[in-house]
């Protein structure tokens, strides 16, 4: 693994961005990866752009887990702030891998994708 990406993951693990809770979130969802014990929750506040678009105005995550799941949560919340909800719903595995900048084993891939799964479930119906 490239030192830059390893250092970036460790930085986001030790100093997570957007960690905590929102006052009066519009949506909230949490889930646990039972195979490894990672627990992630997300809360989102929207801004209505117009009748067709909802923008993620603010997003926070909470929970506990390995360095990969915490870094993935931190990086994901940074990426989606200001994004249209429809675009966030279309994010996938490759987007997360690009944020992390590393290849992952199947077990670690589940850790990395848990935050995206939680966020997208929070956004269902929005």
What CATH number is given to the structural domain containing 53? 3.90.1010.10
pLDDT at 100: 94
Partnered with residue 39 across adjacent β-strands are 32, 64
Residue 4: what pLDDT? Answer: 64
- Give, as one character, the DSSP assignment of residue 15: S
Neighbouring residues of 124: CB distance < 8 A, sequence distance ≥ 6: none
Q: How many distinct structural domains can be found in the chain?
A: 1
What is the reported pLDDT for 6? 83
Residue 50, domain extent: 3-122
Confidence at residue 2, expressed as pLDDT on a 0 to 100 scale: 61
Report residues of the chain scoring pLDDT below 70: 1-2, 4-5
pTM across the whole model: 0.93
Q: What is the pLDDT of residue 35?
A: 86
Distance from C-alpha of 102 to C-alpha of 119, rounded to nearest angstrom? 21
């Amino acid at each position: 693994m490239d030192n830059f990406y390893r250092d970036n993951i460790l930085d986001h693990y030790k100093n997570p961005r957007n960690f905590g809770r929102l006052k009066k979130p519009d949506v909230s969802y949490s889930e646990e990866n039972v195979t490894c014990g990672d627990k992630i929750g997300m809360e989102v506040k929207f801004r209505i752009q117009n009748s067709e678009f909802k923008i993620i105005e603010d997003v926070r995550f909470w929970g506990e887990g390995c360095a990969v799941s915490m870094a993935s949560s931190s990086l994901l919340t940074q990426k989606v702030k200001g994004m249209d909800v429809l675009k966030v719903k279309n994010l996938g595995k490759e987007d997360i891998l690009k944020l992390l900048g590393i290849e992952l084993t199947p077990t670690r891939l589940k850790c990395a994708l848990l935050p995206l799964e939680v966020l997208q479930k929070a956004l269902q119906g929005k």
